[in-house]
Structure 1
Amino acid sequence: MSKNLIIVESPAKSKTIEKYLGKDFQVLASYGHLRDLIPKEGAVDPDNDFAMKYQVQERNQRHVQAITKALKGADTLYLATDPDREGEAISWHLLEMLKAKKLLKNKNVHRVVFHEITKKAVTHAIENPGEIATTLVDAQQARRALDYLVGFNLSPLLWKKIRRGLSAGRVQSPALRMIVERELEIEAFKTREYWSITAKLAHEKQAFKAKLTHYNGEKLSQFSIENDDQAQATQQALVAAADGKLVVAKLEKKQRKRNPAAPFITSTLQQEAARKLGFTTKRTMMVAQQLYEGMDIGGGEAAGLITYMRTDSVNLADEALENIRQLISEKYGADQVPKAPRTFKTKSKNAQEAHEAIRPTLAQQIPADLKKHLTSDQFKLYDLIWKRTIACQMIHATINTVSVDLVCGSDKNLFRATGSVIAKPGFMAVYLEGKDDNKEGDDKETFLPPMAEGDAIPLDSIVTNQHFTEPPPRYGEASLVKSLEEHGIGRPSTYASIISTLQNREYVTLETKRFHPTDVGRIVNKFLTEHFTKYVDYDFTANLEDELDAVSRGEKDWIPLMRDFWTPFTKLIHDKEESVQRKDVTQEAIDEKCPECGKPLSIRLGRNGRFIGCTDYPTCSYTRNLNDDGTESTAPEIIEDTKCPKCDSDLVM
């Protein structure tokens, strides 16, 4: 029997670690959380300081038995779960269970933490053990209790007021609000026409274009030219004034530097993987977990390829920096390494200095060399992480820009041409940060021919261009994660589950990589924003996250925080249970009369989405599809307050 027992979360992680340690160590996996709140009312007791009732999850019974059996023959227990709030909670739960079984007598118990699964990191952690951070456990308990209390009290209210099977969550509901509000913005958007005017110039070295910026002495704004007639009149006047040429009035050259982006944290990895690889947040975190936990990379050697993937810190360890700088010098040249390592400022006040950014465990493990040992997804994500990490420690890029103002007839009419050339690519030779919604970056080169003030450039033509303003784009995974982070809603480690929950509940659908709210999602959001305004408010949600972070730092006690939340919340639940009528939630008045009885029509929610129906139902049974022009009555008729005796769904005529 091994004298030392080490507990980690996953079997993949246990296999990697077991290869680093001798036969005196046995490594077992807990397979995630061993126990959770009992799945019924009373799991959290607000009247007893929010005492929580747990049970071992059925699927984990055999893992508990395996750990219990192994511990009997061991002298020392090492709790080596992940270095974050969830990992701390898993270790604490296991410890509490073992204490209850009286299995810790004469046993040494240690908490060990490492941020990468390498032999050096694991050995160092075991040689320098610590204790469970109870403040992290308190923060996790508070989060779990809050989520339970919101879900277990608000969801049944949605069942009564809208339909069965719905749910609301502390963090998912503000995220839903974000998606619905964007959709309403798009629907309310009024397209506006505007025109621009471009000169095409036939320079002997290279043709180029210039855009009209001033006309008749006035600087043009976006809507200065609003219609075709105005555009044509302006174009004709300019052609006449130009007399076949534009004259260079001013030429301005500048050189600017562009610095690399910081190494990845959880949220930026999720955003970039969505933009560049088309990965969902869930897929990104799953693949990152595999890279972190380790795999065979040849010669029977298992290795964790990246550091821990749940982090808010952009720090890089001194040893890692040395390693990265050495690789840059060898692979790209000594002139590509800045004099001193680059440092980046961590935005999150909750990020721990001991934590690092997401980086390769060894810079010398070049993606191309590992490709044959990795799956396609693993290679793509590792390649992304490796390039971002290397680039962040390279020299800046140098970009030469030139702006040319050209006179058309008189200095009251000005065209401007701009060009940019990457003089020294620096880090851009390795990695460029992605952008949302196809906004053009300054990495796109546009060349202009050599010119001097006073030069007359032959004019090829002056053309008019029609444009229309566009509504804001719907959220994709990358832009939603970015917005959640900017608003302080949730934490990066929870974004994947937030998005999955919204999709699983059919509150949103993902079409062409953009989120669209469903009819049910709209109704749920309307109910929550009208009746639980505070609890879907972005600032309230963010402040609560900050308070939970303060608990994890030991600056705040979790029980008073729970009381402050629960007292007004439970009162509001009871008030709304009595005061809100189902028809007020599921029906929306419209300015139209029923063609059959003359009573007002309303938009109503049925099993297959929203439809238009008569408010005098059941006396009048007129219905039609929401998008019909009123000539057909094809939508299903929902029988109010009556459910199917077999499946409890709405009954339709």
Structure 2
Amino acid sequence: MAKSKAKTSASIAKTGKKPASRAANSPVATIGGSHLVIVESPTKAKKLQQYLGRGYVVIASVGHIRDLPPKNETGVKQQVPGVDIENLTFEPTYVVAPEKKPLVAQIRKLAAAASDIWFATDLDREGEAIAWHLAELVNVDPKTAKRVVFNAITKQAVLEGFANPRPIDMDRVNAQQARRILDRIVGYPISQVLWKKVAGGLSAGRVQSVATRIVVERDREIRAHVPDEKWSVCVRLTNALAKAAGMGEAWNALTSKLDERGKGATQKDQAAWLDSNGGFETDLIEIKGKKFDLSCTKDAPRDLSKGAVDAATAVGLQHVSADRTANPAGQGPAAFNVKVTGTLDPKARYKVTSVEGKREMSRPYPPFKTSTLQRAGGSLGLTADRTMRLAQQLYEAGWITYMRTDSLNLAPESIEAARGYLRAKFGAQYVPASPRYYENKTEGAQEAHEAIRPTDPSRDPSAAMRDLPEDQAKVYGLIWRCFMACQTADAEFERTTILFQRSDQDTGAVLRASGRVLVFDGFLRVNPRSSDDAQLPKLKDGDTLAPFSIDARQSFSSPPSRYTESSLIKFMEEEGIGRPSTYASIVRTIVDRNYVERRGTSLESTSLGEKVTDFLIAWFNDIIEVGYTREMEKELDDVAQRKMEWHEMLRDFWKKLDVDLVRAGEAVHVKAKMDPAPYVCPKCGSQTGYRFGKNGQFLSCVSYPDCVYAAPVDREGRPLLPERVNICSPENNQPMVMRTGRFGRFITSDLPPKPPKPKKKKKTKKQLAQEVADGVVAVAEPPEKKQFIINVDLKGKIKLPSVPPLLTDLNCPKCLTRKLNLRLGKRGPWLGCSGFPKCRGREAMGKLDETMQKTLEIALANHEAANPRAAIFTMDDVPVKDGDNVVQFILPGGVQLLAIHPDSQVPAPIAKAG
């Protein structure tokens, strides 16, 4: 014990921290009969240590402690490492990762000296499995183990959990084991097939390959879309008859004006103008007693110009004409664009023929569960993965309940706390007569769990902004508002629908306007939503109005929207693919693997993703099919509910997969294929073709390797130039270029490729000995200078390079092995692990003593002064600011113009509309 105390004292002196009762994962040699508590995270361990007191020692496993081996160990030959497939027993072999062995030894030592052991890992299936692995390592029978769970890390919840221990639930453990083994026996052998038949380094997965397929098939739907055509006529009216002409001129000026980026007035700008000038929009719904429906389908396209001219004339345009022009990129009805023009008839008038009003009620959304929180994080510009990390931090800090849940249940005491807060803050009218309860629609939802909610509703978002880091506070605000709103009264609206008929001429044109006015805000007081409802003036039957603008609009049906991270997660949840706790990692994986890329907020499949998906559909279609994956999820739920034996489930699955693996072994290597392209090679004049590499499809010279011309291509197969950006490179004073990497888009200098380094021959021992004898001194090569890079975030905002962090002598409180970096953030100096992103440990400056804080602040100020941020300018010497939208800097170009080879039998690709 003396040694242990000496080490602890030295650590306090070095870090400047105030001593704690007993730090999580501290090197305690013996605990003399105390209670040992094992949790997953060091942050959670610290909280529990505070609540449980000196009679307990809390240690963190830092995530999983054992797993299947990444590869076969020496002397072991298994088709799938760690799984006995050869004998069809599917018994797993678990190993402790090398970096976890010292921690395992420490846990075993503490366990041997403890009077009892408590397993307080998270309450989901993964947490149950971790508890079982830990019990196995310390030789505790799962039936007699003290397993404690709590939905929130508050003192009351923790103490209640410890007052009600239970055995480890082996049904849930087996379900988790089956899932892990199933993922391994799918991913490992199919990935090996991809390496042999497609390209090295590729991977497949039971759920990730299905998710990629979903995105690929949606993108193909979009490309194959042939639109229908439809016409609408918008008439803008005002009851200020004398001002109509002037309003028309002002409206035309507003809508024709373009900003510096060539963009016109937004819908929001137009709505604001109409509201402030007493105008509003109506739609043509009827002509001479017949419903206005001017449209045609993709299967029967026809010229609708005459009908559009007639409709425009009926509503109040004169001297109307239609200009019809061909659109080479359009298909079906979209092969022609039609523009209808005319002048407004100054005598045109409309009378109100009907005014109808009715009350509408709007209900709040349910509280968050994992999938809906991940989707809502997108409104903050956060990925699902980032949202879940922040939620984990909030849970561990005791601000919210457990964040991995598919339940909508709420504890009665939390509902009463919310209702009490609402009554005191806003009044009794904001509290429904009875509490709101929400039904779980997810099949297999774990009813014992709660929805995600604040642990203390009285801590509102303003308290979070004061006490938490900015991103954590934003996520907490989302959760708090959603939870409080779900217990608030409905919002009430008054919807008004008005009909108008042309009165100066008997054309039979009937217009309709609809608007909605908020009468009682209800839950919107707590959780506001944006609204585009039109504001209508007070009108009555017989009132006369004048049009000041008329538009006859040709439109085409849109293809399905590209998936966003939110909509993909929603689809996966609705189809029963994967689990809520895995959605974020699935999206991250398919992006990191370059099967899917982020385009703003959209997810778009890459040529690599399409090629891999095509191969998997050809040989493993039944395995990566949505319906089959859904059935596998149900079977895993059946294992957890003791309706199915997990070995039997895996045995049945393997029989199916093994047949596919044998068939796939006969496939032709994808890289051996070369599809013809229409272009002339710009280097040697030969023909070109499309090849496939580890980064996807590219254009290549057929004379390779004699000619090494190659270029990336767009979706239509056109060769691409680097996307140039109007930002001056500090390295060569030339425009920089936009590139895409595994973490998204970034801007870098357009520098020539570095010449390959000559391979050095390895010297023999005799040569090295001779050099030593001759006194030859080895000269170290200078470190390679890093290329200047500007990052672009998910919203397309520029993130200028920041000052490099200052490395301190303080140890990371999470991984305990790396030093902390000191940075200057929006809220002042902060400390984070230098091993980020592998370790995300942080330390609060306020926990250090005053002397240490002052020392670090002075060091950081000197460091900032010695490393000023680079000043970045456009090519016109206009400063580039942090947060500028990258769109405004993109220069025209992108497609490389190559001649068509005279011998080509392939048509030149054309970019499709949309």
Give the TM interval when normalised to the shorter protein. Answer: 0.7 to 0.9
Q: Which residue of 2 aligns with 1:519?
A: 607
State the shift of 1:229 in Å. Answer: 5.2
**How many Å separate the matches in 2 of 1:22 and 1:475?**
49
Given the alignment, which residue of 84, 105, 116 partners 1:45? 84
Q: Which residue of 2 aligns with 1:139?
A: 175
- Equivalent residue number for residue 350 of structure 2: 246
| 2:522 paired residue among 418, 426, 438 | 426
Asked whether the 8 Å contact 1:587–1:602 carries over to 2, the reply is no
Q: Distance in 2 between matches of 1:590 and 1:194?
A: 39
Deviations 1:396-421 (A, max 9, x none): 00011011121225584321100100
> How far is 1:163 from its partner?
0.7
Select which of 189, 204, 221 maps to 1:168.
204
Q: Which residue of 2 aligns with 1:373?
A: 467
SS in 1 for 2:310: helix
Select the residue among 262, 266, 269 that pairs with 2:373: 269
Distance in 2, Cα, partners of 1:603 & 1:371:
53
Name the structure 1 match of 2:106: 66
Contact 1:89 1:137 in 2 (8 A): yes
Matched, 1:83 2:123: yes
Which secondary structure does the structure 2 equivalent of 1:60 belong to? helix
CA distance in 2, matches of 1:551, 1:337: 42
The residue correspondences of 1:91-170 to structure 2 (distance < 5 A) are 91-99=131-139, 109-170=145-206
Match status 1:417 vs 2:509: no
1:51-450 equivalences under 5 Å are 51-99=91-139, 109-190=145-226, 194-204=230-240, 206-221=278-293, 223=295, 230-239=307-316, 244-274=348-378, 276-294=379-397, 304-408=398-502, 409-410=505-506, 412-432=508-528, 443-450=531-538
Matches of 1:631 and 1:373 in 2, distance apart?
A: 53
- Displacement of 1:594 in angstroms is 9.8
The residue identity in structure 2 corresponding to 1:64 is V
Cα deviation 1:29-88 (Å, max 9, x = unaligned): 111110100122441112242000111111211221221121122111111100011000
Higher relative CO (CA 8 A, sep ≥ 6), structure 1 or 2?
A: 1
Shift of 1:215: 2.4
- Tell me, what secondary structure is at the counterpart of 2:623? helix
Larger C-alpha radius of gyration, 1 or 2? 2
SS of residue matched to 2:187? helix
Give unpaired runs (5+ residues) of structure 1: 295-303, 434-440, 635-645, 647-653
- The letter for the 1-side match of 2:427 is G
Q: Distance in 2 between matches of 1:263 and 1:120?
A: 22
| CA deviation after TM superposition for structure 1 residue 349, in Å | 2.7
Task: Give the corresponding residue for 1:483.
Answer: 571
How far apart are residue 604 of structure 1 and its match?
2.6
1:184-227 per-position Cα deviation (integer Å, ceiling 9, x unaligned): 12222335554321222221494322110122433234727975
Residues 4 and 24, structure 1, Cα contact 8 Å, conserved in 2: yes
CA distance 1:232–1:590, shift in 2 (3 Å): farther
> Offset of 1:589 from its aligned partner?
5.0
Q: In structure 2, how many angstroms separate the alpha carbons of the residues matched to 1:374 and 1:620?
A: 58
Contact 1:507 1:517 in 2 (8 A): yes
Deviation at 1:98, TM superposition (A): 1.6
More helix by share: 1
Correspondent of 1:32 among 48, 63, 69 = 63
**1:535-556 deviation per Cα after TM superposition (whole angstroms, max 9, x unaligned):** 1211111111111112112222
Q: Verify the 8 A CA contact 1:623 1:633 in the aligned structure 2.
A: no
**Structure 1: which amino acid aligns with 2:526?**
V
Shift in CA distance, 222/20, structure 1 to aligned 2, threshold 3 Å: farther
Distance 1:527 1:206 in 2: 60
Contact 2:408 2:439 in 1 (8 A): yes
User: Are residue 19 (structure 1) and residue 113 (structure 2) matched?
Assistant: no
What's the offset of the Cα at 1:160?
Answer: 0.8
Question: 2:538 aligns to what SS in structure 1?
Answer: coil
**Identical residues among aligned pairs (%):** 39
How far did 1:373 drift? 2.0
Q: Quick one: which of 669, 677, 690 aligns to 1:603?
A: 690
**What letter corresponds to residue 30 of structure 1 in structure 2?**
S
Partners of 1:587 and 1:328 lie apart in 2 by 66
Distance 1:384 1:630 in 2: 43
Q: Secondary structure at the match of 2:516?
A: strand
3-state DSSP of counterpart to 1:341 = coil
- The one-letter amino acid paired with 2:394 is L
Q: For residue 126 of structure 2, what is the amino acid of its counterpart?
A: E
* Match of residue 572, structure 1, among 639, 644, 660: 660
Q: Does the 8 Å CA contact 2:499/2:513 hold for their aligned counterparts? A: yes
Residues 110-157 of structure 1 deviation map (CA, whole Å, 9 limit, x = unaligned): 011111011111111111111111111011101110111111100010
Question: Using the alignment, how far apart are the partners of 1:104 and 1:268 within structure 2?
Answer: 38
Post-superposition Cα deviations, 1:154-198, rounded to whole Å, max 9, x if no partner, equal 001001111110000000001001111122122223355543212
Aligned residues: 613
The answer to whether the 8 Å contact 2:317/2:550 transfers is no
Relative to structure 1, the CA distance from residue 395 to residue 608 in structure 2 (aligned partners, 3 Å threshold; closer, same or farther) is: closer
Give 3-state SS (helix, strand or coil) of 2:117's partner.
strand
